[in-house]
Chain A
């Protein structure tokens, strides 16, 4: 058939042809950390938008990997994920921003057991965070938010926050107020909050190149229950 060098050249060409970014048949990729499993989230979005082919991911690494392979027509995630370099090289130029009670951001707080966090000594503590960007990027992101180097301990599911505190693998966890309220319902431990003054963007939908009316309408008309899962109550085009 082919010589080894011919096979190598064919492999290289095939790889780069397949690797070229182009919008594919999948309409919407979703990475949104929530209590329910990705397949349930996917089912809910699909039932809201039966004409849109949606895939929900449970791990950020898979989400980025698939976007890199074949970008979908739209992506839905938290704002720091959609704005990340790994995604912005693909032209998701048109955005739909999720809002909650008129706000596009949500306050994030530190949660610890029994006593509040002394923010002056933050550098000496281990802070649990949900990994939404990957190990190295997450560390950079958290350092930037706190404007100082933070020793982080990552989890890949929101339900894993509580074990971090229970097993003392972290001194505190850095979570949204909504996540804290859920933790409070779940745990009987004496959870104490410390405000940080940090706000992080809510869910955002990025749409590939040009406006896609079908996807825009679907996201805008998402029912209350699905919106609540995505941490928003309203969607609107980027002002």
Chain B
């Protein structure tokens, strides 16, 4: 029988077995004896996960592991920008998993290259989590589904509506052309909650002057709040410094951002930030995996889900400075308050 050594295969390993005792004994025995684990016996419900290192990714892996405990073994392979493309092929060959999980864009891009290089092969099911602009990437991947990383505006704005006293009915957003589908989808979600997204589309190539002109124009459109999309092109340091911060200085309405650091008081930018709850993202991913498992390790849908659970931060200090009145009793619903 062909055997494989865990230690030589993976840099990180997450054992998810039915009981704590059993996992402890197995791990101890494997350490004690330098044991080789039988491929066919041990790897039945093995999931191979590729991820960069980082706290958020660790939280997602914990969510996945906690939720799949007793049903699957998750083997984690850490990746970074310098990881060779061959490592995916080697790991799949060595571990022979039932399913692949990719966290973040780097591993997913590497897997896209892998699929391209092995286009004659049949690919096992794969799940992608924590990757930006997932819909675009999944167009080039077979047998892969996932959960988007971007938080839909409606999730942030419904939460914002509960914590600020002023009505939130019209919300402005500036976006670049390539995000058009995302904005169309978000407009529809917001409409369900009676919120109108007032959107200004810009070309993919932008300048300080053009962005400045459009933002000024948007801020004069009688909007109740501003939603800033996570787009590196729009949030480049020179645009933050020369456009966003100076123009938002006198905008005394809520600015919702998708990056925690943009709510820092000294930046004077976002008052409310919403990010994915990374642990819950893992649980949501685990549920997708459990469905695939129950379906005989087959993906029968091509759906990409939005993330359901969020963590939020409110900069109370900045809200007060801008005279944005808050429902004090609702603040306990938020994860972090910057006072």
Is B192 in contact with A160, judged by CB distance below 8 angstroms? Answer: no
Contact, CB under 8 Å: B308 / A186: no
Please determine whether B67 and A11 come into contact, CB atoms closer than 8 angstroms. no
Majority-rule SS of B interface residues: helix
Whether A167 and B194, one on each chain, are in contact in the complex, defined by CB atoms closer than 8 angstroms, is no
Across-interface contacts of A187 in B (CB, < 8 A): 158, 193
CB-contacts of B261-320 with A (<8 A): 277, 279-280, 283, 286-287, 290, 305-306, 308-309
Please indicate the chain B residues that have their CB under 8 angstroms from the CB of A12 in the complex: 25, 28
A189 within 8 A of partner (CB) = yes
Which bracket fits the contact residues of B? 35 or more
Docked complex Cα distance between A164 and B31 (Å): 44
Q: What residue of chain A has the Cβ atom nearest to residue B32's Cβ?
A: A8
Cα distance, A136 to B67, chains bound together (Å)? 9
B155 near A189 with CB under 8 A, answer no
A160 to B66, CA, bound (A): 19
**A185 to B, closest residue via Cβ:** B162
Tell me how far the C-beta of A42 lies from the nearest C-beta in chain B, rounded to whole angstroms. 11
Point out the residues of chain A lying under 8 angstroms from B328, CB to CB.
Answer: none
A66 at the interface (CB under 8 A from B): no
C-beta contact mask, A71-94 vs B, less than 8 Å → 1, else 0? 000000000000000000000000
Select which of B280, B283, B334 is within 8 A of A37 by beta carbon: B334
Asked if A140 is an interface residue, CB under 8 A from chain B, the answer is no
On whether the beta carbons of A155 and B192 are closer than 8 Å, the reply is: no
**Does residue B152 face the partner (Cβ distance < 8 Å to A)?**
yes
* Prevailing SS type, chain A contact patch: helix
* A234 contacts the other chain (CB 8 A): no
Q: Are A156 and B283 in contact (CB under 8 A)?
A: yes
Q: Are A167 and B305 in contact (CB under 8 A)?
A: yes
Residues of B within 8 A of A15 (CB): 21, 24
A163/B66 in contact, CB under 8 A: no
Cα of A136 to Cα of B283 in the assembled complex, Å = 13
Q: Closest residue to B25 on the A side, CB-wise? A: A12
Once the chains bind, are A61 and B66 in contact (CB under 8 Å)? yes
Complex contacts, B308 vs chain A, CB 8 Å: 155, 160, 163-164, 167, 169
Say if the beta carbon of B114 comes within 8 Å of chain A.
no
* Contact (Cβ within 8 A) A154 B283: yes
Bound complex: CA A15 to CA B27 (Å): 13
Given the complex of chains A and B, what is the CA–CA distance between A162 and B157 in angstroms? 12
Q: In the complex, A163→B157 CA distance in Å?
A: 12
Within 8 A of A (CB), among B317-336: 332-335
Interface residues of B in 132-171 (CB under 8 A from A): 152, 154-155, 158-159, 161-162
B233 within 8 A of A: no
Q: Nearest B residue to A165 by beta-carbon distance?
A: B192
Asked if A166 and B154 sit within 8 Å, CB to CB, the answer is yes
Instruction: Return the chain A residue nearest B283 by Cβ.
Output: A156
Q: Judge whether B70 is part of the interface by a CB distance below 8 angstroms.
A: yes
Kindly identify which residue among B155, B280, B290 contacts A135, using a CB–CB cutoff of 8 Å.
Answer: B290
Residue-wise interface mask of A (1-22) relative to B, using a CB-CB cutoff of 8 A (1 in contact, 0 not): 0001100100110010001000
Chain B residues within CB distance 8 Å of chain A: 20-21, 24-25, 28, 31-32, 66-68, 70-71, 152, 154-155, 158-159, 161-162, 189, 192-194, 277, 279-280, 283, 286-287, 290, 305-306, 308-309, 332-335
A: which residues have CB within 8 A of B?
Answer: 4-5, 8, 11-12, 15, 19, 35-37, 40, 59, 61, 68, 131, 134-136, 153-157, 159-160, 162-164, 166-167, 169, 186-189
Task: List 7 A-B pairs, Cβ < 8 Å.
Answer: A4-B32, A19-B20, A19-B21, A135-B286, A156-B309, A163-B309, A167-B308
Q: Which 3 A-B pairs have the closest CB atoms?
A: A188-B194, A36-B332, A40-B332
Known A19-B21, A156-B280; further 13 A-B contacts with Cβ < 8 A: A8-B32, A37-B332, A59-B66, A59-B279, A131-B283, A135-B286, A155-B308, A155-B309, A159-B309, A160-B308, A166-B155, A188-B192, A189-B192
